[in-house]
Amino acid sequence: MSTGLDALTKKNIDTWLTGNYDEETKAKIQQLVDEGKETELSDSFYKSLEFGTGGMRGEMGVGSNRMNKYTVGAATQGFSNYLKQSLPGKEIKVAIAHDSRNNSPFFARICADIFSANGIKVYLFSALRPTPELSFTIRHLGCDAGLVITASHNPREYNGYKAYWNDGSQVVAPHDKNIVTEVNNITSVDDINFNGNEALITFIGEEVDKEYLKTIQHNSINPDVIARQKDLKIVYSSIHGTGITLVPQALALLGFENVNVVEAQAEPNGDFPTVVYPNPEETEAMTLAVNLAKDIDADLVIATDPDADRVGAAVKNPHGEWVLLNGNQMASLIIYYLLGAWEKAGKLTGKEFVAKTIVTTEIIAKMCASKGVKCYDTLTGFKYIAAVIRELEGKEQFIGGGEESYGYLIGDAVRDKDAVASCAMIAELTAYAKDNGKSLFDFLTEMYQENNFYYEGLISLTKKGKAGAEEIQQMMANLRANLPTSVAGSEPVTVLDYKNLTSKDLKTGEITAIPEGLGMESSNVIQLILADGSKVSARPSGTEPKIKFYVSVNAPLANPADFDETLAALKAKVSSIQEDLGLK
């Protein structure tokens, strides 16, 4: 073996070549060794693929730092061990789903075999399904946990593993860290029991689909509007993912009869042949859908990512141009529609609430306040929104919620972001706008006229390696120690530090506590609130070598004709804030 590899990498390679791994795996490793593929060997074996607090994600291939039968197996054996420790003497039940990625069905079956080998009852979807349906299934079937094999919207080389608890939410404290500990205790392939027990594996499918779709139908507020606008021209793309299994069904169930599927992207395919990244946040991934919309003069474009938990949308503006709506805009529109509809129906009693993350647009909080509805802020990640729903269950009623990264939830039947239900609701609110002689873009403009035009910019700085990680920490330390006295001509008035959960009034020096719980715990995030209502949030990424700055600005919009001019001014203000803070 080449001497260019470090000792730990060599040791890991040797373990895989001599241990109880299958011959095909060993042959692939030996081929890399024989061909002197040091870079690939190093990347594949220099460490073990980390199982974090929500699961794991990585490139597929042989090796300790890759997604494969053995790393997925170790994760599942550790998860099994924790479930058995936590629930002694109980018949434990787990639900498993998978997306359209290469090897996803294989990994899902491996997980089913390992759980069943450990005496755990498994409900395994017989074919690919959206992640939100997995969340629903856990509660519907009374499972103790669940998992979905997916890498969400990552590039095609990746796959992943998301772990869920009995409320249908991704695992949170203390279970998340406890599962990590058990997974890390699996130190040998011999610790993994791959010998599945067929008697403990039940295949599920259409019968669960029907129950899940009923909850989406239940979310609908104005079925009479849909009946009048049943010919609303919708373009939908599943971007080769799981959405094709249920989004068209959900739209049909609500009564939409003119849904045009982007056929070139309709077939599930883990190679994602028509896109660079299978992510509806990317303009390129939406191109085919927008082109079809232009051809047929559609009213709405919607597209879901591979595991159908995020949705992107596009609509025509007054100039006849198709524009993509960002996550803040769509989250706001959904809440704007829901609040108005609940108020009109006389359903607002003072016990309703909305939840959003701290980096999501503040227009949502403003709209909630105007209707007497509580708006809870949580840390970034839908598991924190799910935690609020769990804590308030039976006391307050959840209307909906969302985050800036294209994830939304309507109602509480699911406890994760749900692109299937969101597609249905986006179609409904578009139909509502059309029923009132408006486009979805007009509806957006109306919301801004009533509540101010809110615009959000994201500045993401990549800092790779050990030096980059240290630089990010230093940037956060500097910001805490040297708060600016003026940003884009406005004075900071409040600083929120989520690391020590405090809010400081910069005028009086008064410090108050940010209550822990309800989706809130210590996190390395700082927010500056400026006198003019602008907000700047600094947050190191937990999964990438990046530090992200979220900037929110707003201004009145007196007239729809001023939309473009106001947007340009807000964008200029974000640039000014970026420059003043030296974010390059």
| Gap between the Cα atoms of 264 and 237, Å rounded | 9
pLDDT score at 541: 81
pLDDT of residue 338: 98
| CA-based max dimension of the chain | 74
Mean pLDDT of the region 58-73: 95
Tell me the average pLDDT across 419-446: 98
Report yes or no: 381 and 357 within 8 Å, Cβ to Cβ: yes
Mean pLDDT computed over 71-87: 97
Say whether pLDDT at 548 is over 80: yes
Q: Is the pLDDT of residue 2 over 60?
A: no
- Tell me the pTM: 0.95
pLDDT score, position 356? 98
Say yes or no to pLDDT of 542 above 90.
no
Q: Is the dihedral of CA 70, 72, 73, 75 positive or negative?
A: positive
Distances in Å between the alpha carbon of 316 and those of 76, 257, 310, 320, 325? 46, 20, 21, 6, 10
Average pLDDT of 465-485? Answer: 88
Place of tokens 């739209």: 251
Cα dihedral 135, 137, 143, 149 sign:
negative
Please give the pLDDT value at position 173: 83
| Torsion (CA) 372, 373, 379, 383 in degrees, nearest 10 | 170
The residue type found at 499 is: K
Per-residue pLDDT of 150-179, as tens digits, reads 999 889 999 999 999 999 999 988 898 999
CA gap 147, 516 in Å, rounded: 28
pLDDT for 1 beyond 70: no
Q: Is the pLDDT of residue 359 over 80?
A: yes
Residue 32's alpha-carbon distances to 1, 10, 66, 85, in angstroms, are 10, 13, 15, 40
Per-residue pLDDT, averaged over 336-362, amounts to 96
φ, ψ dihedrals at 488, nearest 5°? 50, 40
pLDDT of the residue at 543: 64
The whole-number average pLDDT for the span 268-275 is 97
- Whether the per-residue pLDDT at 229 is higher than 70: the answer is yes
Segment 445-458 mean pLDDT: 97
Annotated catalytic residue 537 = no
CA 491 to chain centre: 34
What mean pLDDT, rounded, does the chain reach? 95
Return the minimum-mean-pLDDT range out of 39-48, 424-433, 562-571. 39-48
Q: How confident is the model at residue 372 (pLDDT cuts 50, 70, 90)?
A: very high
DSSP designation for 315: E
Planar angle of CA 276, 282, 286, nearest 5 degrees: 85
Which segments of 141-205 does DSSP mark as H helices, in order?
Answer: 175-184
> What pLDDT, on the 0 to 100 scale, is given for residue 399?
98
Residues 435, 228 contacting (CB under 8 angstroms): yes
What pLDDT, on the 0 to 100 scale, is given for residue 582? 86
pLDDT given at position 390? 95
Confidence (pLDDT) at 4: 78
Q: Whats the size of the chain, residue-wise?
A: 584
Type of residue at 58: G
Judged against a pLDDT cut of 70, whether residue 319 lies above it is answered with yes
Catalytic residue among 64, 104, 152, 332: 152
Residue 31 burial (CB count, 10 A): 11
* Proportion of the chain above pLDDT 70, given as a percent: 99
Lowest-confidence pick of 6-15, 49-58, 84-93, 521-530: 49-58
Which residues have a Cβ under 8 Å from the Cβ of 508 and sit 6 or more positions away?
Answer: none
Query: Can you count the helices (H) and strands (E) in the chain?
Result: 18, 22
Residue 3 pLDDT: 62
Q: Percent of the chain, pLDDT > 90?
A: 89
pLDDT at 387 over 80: yes
* Lowest mean pLDDT, pick from 73-77, 97-101, 295-299, 380-384: 380-384
**CA-CA distance, 375 to 387, in Å (whole number)?**
14
Q: What are the residues whose beta carbons fall under 8 Å from the beta carbon of 206, sequence distance 6 or more?
A: none
